[in-house]
């Protein structure tokens, strides 16, 4: 089972958009049994696939809906409230993924309040209570038997939640906008990757697929100059991916619940955004499943 995570401690660089397209590519185009995991308390990735509910009683006001398989009259279901999220791994509870509108794709949604609470443990408890929990969950027989691939969307942070993703992943991709401040952040992610790589046993390496230029504007001098300088940068050049994602209005348009078609892969084959998405996500998939 391959576990692909999109990480960058900066926000607005396309992590959620890439996670979504990756999950759709693996499940729809490659017919792999795929599990999407939303590790960002903001729940954006979850919202792309299921209708999250507003929780007016909490600060992070999003909760997963009642699970379609939950039956309040079934005694087996008496010990849960009908909602499930990936945050259950921090509370010793089972995770029941939700089906999505895509046949081969299930989702373990975020739960803002619970993820934030899990992350706020004492410093001396964080290793035991947070860092290894996702890796443990993903190495369970149930998950390994049910899925071929896992795609994880992460929060814009280098905190304990993101660390637990780095510890669980087999592959990471660092999406980045070609702007100075964002690229400064890329060094931080590279450091996390190197530290984790040193810690990993030889038979379970953490692969960096690469740094993926996103929201790229061909007509913008800055973007072109930054990309060229990255490709010449001694420390980073070998990791810069030879593909990129352009800034196109179709990506935010597809975020809408009412978007029709719903997935970029349901657009006509001649559509430029689809051509580009196929190229990028095929490139990633080929490296992951090599």
Ligand X SMILES: Nc1ncnc2c1ncn2[C@@H]1O[C@H](COP(=O)(O)OP(=O)(O)O)[C@@H](O)[C@H]1O
Strands 207-214 and 171-177, sheet pairing: parallel
Angle at 10 between CA 224 and CA 148, to 5 degrees: 95
Binding residues among 60-119 for Mg ion as defined by CB under 5 A = none
Name the one range near ligand X by CB under 6 A: 62-70, 106-114, 182-190, 246-254: 246-254
Kindly state the smallest distance separating residue 7's Cβ from ligand X, in Å.
Answer: 10
Residue 214 touches which of Mg ion, ligand X, none (Cβ within 5-8 Å per kind):
ligand X
Q: List b or e across 75-104, with b for residues whose CB sees 16 or more CB atoms inside 10 angstroms.
A: eeeeeeeebbbbbbbbeeeebbbbebebeb
User: In the chain, what is the greatest distance between 2 CA atoms, to the nearest angstrom?
Assistant: 63
| Binding residue (CB under 6 A) for ligand X from 4, 13, 174, 241 | 13
Instruction: State the binding partner of 12 from Mg ion, ligand X, none, CB within 5 to 8 A by kind.
Output: ligand X
Residue nearest to Mg ion (CB): 16
**To the nearest whole angstrom, how small is the minimum distance from the Cβ of residue 155 to ligand X?**
9
Residue 14 site contact among ligand X, Mg ion, none (CB < 5 to 8 Å, cut-off depends on kind): ligand X
> What is the secondary structure of 68-133 as a DSSP string?
TT--TT-GGGTTS-S---GGGGGGT----PEE-SSTTEEEE---HHHHHHHHTS-GGGHIIIIITH
| CA neighbours closer than 13 Å in the CB half-sphere of residue 121 | 16
48 binds Mg ion (CB under 5 A): no
Chosen residue from 8, 9, 16, 176 binding Mg ion by CB under 5 A: 16
Which residues contact Mg ion by CB under 5 A? 15-16, 44
Provide the binding-site residues for ligand X, judged by CB under 6 A.
Answer: 11-17, 44, 156, 214-215, 245, 247-248, 251-252, 255
């Amino acid at each position: 089972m391959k576990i692909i995570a999109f990480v960058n401690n900066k926000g607005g660089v396309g992590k959620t958009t890439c996670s979504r397209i990756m999950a759709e590519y693996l499940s729809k185009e490659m017919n792999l049994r795929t599990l999407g995991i939303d590790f960002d308390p903001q729940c954006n990735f979850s919202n792309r696939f299921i209708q999250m509910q507003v929780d007016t009683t909490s600060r992070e006001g999003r909760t997963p809906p009642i699970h379609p398989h939950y039956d309040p009259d079934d005694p087996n279901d008496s010990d849960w409230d009908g909602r499930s999220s990936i945050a259950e791994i921090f509370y010793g509870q089972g995770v029941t993924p939700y089906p999505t509108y895509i046949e081969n794709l299930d989702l373990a949604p975020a739960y803002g309040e619970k993820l934030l609470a899990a992350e706020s443990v004492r410093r001396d408890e964080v290793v035991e209570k947070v860092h290894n929990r996702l890796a443990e969950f993903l190495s369970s027989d149930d998950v390994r038997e049910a899925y071929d691939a896992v795609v994880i969307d992460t929060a814009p942070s280098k905190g304990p939640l993101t660390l637990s993703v780095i510890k669980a992943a087999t592959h990471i991709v660092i999406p980045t906008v070609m702007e100075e401040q964002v690229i400064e952040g890329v060094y931080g992610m590279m450091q996390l990757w190197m530290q984790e790589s040193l810690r990993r046993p030889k038979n379970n390496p953490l692969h960096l697929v690469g740094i993926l230029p996103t929201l790229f504007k061909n007509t913008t001098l800055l973007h072109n100059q930054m990309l060229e300088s990255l490709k010449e940068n001694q420390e980073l050049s070998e990791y810069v991916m030879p593909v990129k994602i352009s800034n196109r209005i179709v990506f935010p348009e597809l975020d809408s619940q009412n978007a029709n078609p719903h997935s970029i892969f349901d657009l006509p084959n001649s559509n430029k955004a689809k051509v580009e998405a196929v190229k990028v996500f095929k490139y990633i998939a080929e490296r992951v499943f090599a």
